[in-house]
């Protein structure tokens, strides 16, 4: 499934882009269901390129039947991102913390300077979920549990990828109070 979202941030690209790249933890309180983000590595590989790996920890309610079968870390994920400062974009791949093959997600976020000192944020990504690759689910329960797990993975990843603009707006609004 291919998903795109586009929004305007009322702050210059020179503020928005480095905030998301270097200080994403400041935006976490304004994201819908993220508990925290741990930076696992960050390395400037050239004057215009930064490579980062982050571990994302979601906040979510796991239904009772699923809670008994799977580790909650199943729903956390890593992102492997390459920030291209000269192009104002980040290319990323996302994989599950415990189930690396349960889904495939990759995308590009564009931070474009526009008139009036604003930033257009365009988030694009492709997401494929493979619920049969999720560990810990007995075969006899698979038909009932796997659709629930697939829905939880989708409902955890999608809103956090598409709500970055709302998180940024919330962050900047809080800074101006």
Domain 2-175 coded CATH 1.10.10.60: no
Say if residues 119 and 112 touch (Cβ distance below 8 Å).
yes
Alpha-carbon span 33 to 66, nearest angstrom: 19
Annotated domain spans of the chain: 2-175
Query: For 112-141, what is each residue's pLDDT tens digit?
Result: 999 999 999 999 988 777 766 666 555 544
Query: For 37-59, what is each residue's pLDDT tens digit?
Result: 999 999 999 999 999 999 988 88
pTM: 0.81
Residue with tokens 């976490």: 28
């Amino acid at each position: 499934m291919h998903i795109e979202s586009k929004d305007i941030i009322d702050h210059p690209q020179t503020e928005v882009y480095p905030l998301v790249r270097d200080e994403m933890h400041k935006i976490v309180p304004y994201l819908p269901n993220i508990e925290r983000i741990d930076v696992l590595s960050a390395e400037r590989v050239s004057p215009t390129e930064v490579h980062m790996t982050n571990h994302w920890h979601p906040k979510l309610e796991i239904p009772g039947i699923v809670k008994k079968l799977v580790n909650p870390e199943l729903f956390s994920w890593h992102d492997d991102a390459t920030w291209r400062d000269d192009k104002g974009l980040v290319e990323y791949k996302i994989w599950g913390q415990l189930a690396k093959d349960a889904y495939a997600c990759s995308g590009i976020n564009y931070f474009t300077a526009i008139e009036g000192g604003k930033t257009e944020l365009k988030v694009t990504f492709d997401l494929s979920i493979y619920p049969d690759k999720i560990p810990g689910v007995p075969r006899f329960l698979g038909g009932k549990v796997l659709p629930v797990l697939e829905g939880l993975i989708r409902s955890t990843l999608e809103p956090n990828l598409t709500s970055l603009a709302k998180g940024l707006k919330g962050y900047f609004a809080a800074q101006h109070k």
